[in-house]
A and B are shown apart, each in its own frame.
Chain A
Amino acid sequence: MTLAIETPRKSRVDTLLGDIGIGQVLLAVALLLYPAIASDFFLTQIGGYSLIWGMIALSLMMLAGYGGMVSLAQITVAGLAGYMVAIFGENNSNVHGFGWPWWVVVPIAVFVAGIASALIGAISARTDGIYTIMITLAIATAMYYFTQQNYALFNGFPGFTGIRAPDFLGIYWRDPMPFYYLCLGVAVVAYAAVLYCARSTFGLALQALRDNPRRMRALGFHVTQHKIVTYFYAGLIAGLAGVLLVWFNGRISPGTIGVGAAINVLIIAVIGGMRHPIGPFLGALVVVLMQTFAIDIVGAERFNTLIGLFFLAIVFISPDGLLGLWGKLKPHLRQESLRSGP
């Protein structure tokens, strides 16, 4: 019978609405109205900062959740974009600081991040599992020490200070509310792009090579090439986040891209969950809240213990992170996220 051939796949409008869903619409409204109730501190230190870390973790989620490639070098990629902003834009460290306008600097920074990420991908794409983790950790560590010792390009230990977010449309974009909306806008674009592309040919192929790279080769796909291109896209997202991060901090130094930060990205992604692109943002919010307030609960000497215990609890209770917990409460959502699309 031809019946099944004619089974209408949902029209594009339906698919779009189905993708967005009522939950995400409510979330978007809440995020848009958040500045009405939030103090400046909660706008930037919690809101903006969580969105930035969420984006870096999103770039890891893309690689690990869809592609099965756990890279610990995503913070290195983001940091590199931050360094580019300091080098090609303005800083008050009297090293480099070409003073180019932001609309030149930002594309350069993001593109450099993409290329750097692709290079890391090219180095690690032929490895699997724990070896990918080791190689990317080695790259992240090497880069950390390199930036610390190299003064010609990265100005060594002190790095760069006095980096300002741009002024345009009569707005200074590091003011709390503009900065929050800037982070939100960029994060939403990155999130939507990942969500959409997960069901594109590229995204489907990525998930397929995660499940079975050998079969993907036997279907005519160049698996290594596919992985490297994925790293490139992940680098663009991490690079965008890196630009925002350096505007947020106003400075960048080797400390920003240290091993601790690299592990932080992994913790955020694992706590949030890597089945769906919302997970990294969820994880970032929780981790940023903990890092901000744990110190008030248990004191300065024990706050890392609290974060560690929370991480352990999540991993034990739900290997899929907070998303997995939510999925247990809402079997429907679990199903949806499993299918990674309607």
Chain B
Amino acid sequence: MAEPIAASRLQSSNAHALELDGVTRQFGALVAVSSVNMRIAAGERRAVLGSNGAGKTTLFNAITGDFMPTAGKIRFFGEDITMLPPHERIRRGLRRTYQISQLFGGLTVLDGIFLACRGVSRNRFSLIRPKPDDVNMAQAELILHAVHLEDIRDTMVATLSHGQQRQLEIALALAGAPRFILFDEPAAGLSPTERRDLVAILNALPKHIGYVIIEHDLDVALRVSDYVSMMHNGKLFKEGTPEEIENDPQVQEIYLGGGRHG
């Protein structure tokens, strides 16, 4: 449900967590993302829907700097981050998850989350082993609990099940006081029970943390978002509240194809 955005604590100049101005990404002749404009307020939760190849993930890659946009401007809490390298964007409070899990197979679950906390903190180059009372280690333990991975804290990531890897994928994005998160199909390949857990985790996020979620499963997408943007062929073509989108005949025809799965 759309909740009034708590913009009062922010200055009017940076009321928007994320502003996209004509963001475009071309791969040779292919225009994967074409002149996308988007304004997302701090704390807002936005779903991005669209068929495969609509440019949703490419848009995420442009926002995080995995691939730089070929044109357009990206502002994060008022600051122009268009040309910043990925790690600088992350250190400013941006986070993301990946559609295909991008994890560290050779590390334990806890060590992976610890690195996520340390990455936006100090002492990234420390040659000292982190002590159990290290502040980032304590943060990692909290996140471990928040995503229910405490039973496998010392397990090698490479040996985790798909569902556990998806949970860890989210855990890494929650580390270190995020201000805004991009979730790329977090429910991909999850069982119905795991999807329920996912919705619970997303709805339990502190209200000041906004996010954009790409999700094919409308049961998930419409239940965790305030507002929905539809993408098609690299362009935004419709925006609205979850109810409006769900009942829009054009959307039903293009995206839902007549029947809902789930």
Contacts and interface: CB of A to CB of B under 8 A. Distances in A.
Interface residues of B, number: 46
A207 B104 contact: yes
A127 B66 CA distance: 16
Nearest to A340: B106
A203 B104 CA distance: 13
A199 B118 CA distance: 14
A328 interface: no
Nearest to B120: A220
B91 to A, nearest CB: 5
Contact of B107 (A196, A202, A204, A217): A204
Contact of A218 (B102, B114, B151): B102
A9 B131 CA distance: 9
Interface in B51-65: 64-65
Given A4-B145, A199-B129, A204 B114 contact: yes
A211 B124 contact: no
B190 interface: no
B103 interface: yes
Contacts of A300: none
B87 A202 contact: no
B108 A215 contact: no
Interface residues of A, number: 35
B198 interface: no
A302 interface: no
Contacts of A17: none
Interface in A176-215: 196-197, 199-205, 207-208, 210-212, 214-215
Contact of B126 (A12, A201, A218): A201
B87 A5 contact: no
Contacts of A126: none
Contact of A219 (B65, B106, B172): B172
Interface in B68-95: 85-87, 90-91, 95
A211 B172 CA distance: 15
A289 to B, nearest CB: 31
A202 B104 contact: no
A217 B90 contact: yes
6 contacts: A201-B125, A211-B104, A215-B103, A216-B115, A218-B86, A219-B90
Interface of A: 4-5, 8-9, 12, 15, 196-197, 199-205, 207-208, 210-212, 214-223, 226, 229, 338-340
